[in-house]
Amino acid sequence: MNNTTKLLIAIGASIAVGAAIGVLYAPEEGYETRRKIMKRGKKLAGIVGDSIDDGKESLEEIKDILQKQLHKVNDRIAKL
């Protein structure tokens, strides 16, 4: 497991623990608290989804660049 994966797991666990503590000490009624959690969860899911999409696009661009460079190297090797 690389450092990025470990960091993402730690962040996710921290968010879950923070949310659990927040629910336990929430001054509002359960219904209102659950409604707020759902609303914030959906917003966070949208942000994470957008970030993942951006990451995929960046990786695709990097992949294309690397493939072009690999073809150039292969062509040079073939000429030798």
Task: Flag whether pLDDT at 69 surpasses 90.
Answer: yes
pTM as predicted: 0.48
pLDDT in tens, 18-64: 877 877 777 777 788 788 888 888 888 888 888 888 888 888 899 99
Cα(48)–Cα(74) distance, integer angstroms = 38
CA distances from 21 to 12, 17, 25, 29, 79 (A): 14, 6, 6, 15, 65
Task: Flag whether pLDDT at 2 surpasses 80.
Answer: no
Q: Provide the strand spans (E) within the chain.
A: none
User: Would you state the pLDDT for residue 1?
Assistant: 64
User: Would you state the pLDDT for residue 12?
Assistant: 82
The tokens for 2 are 């690389």
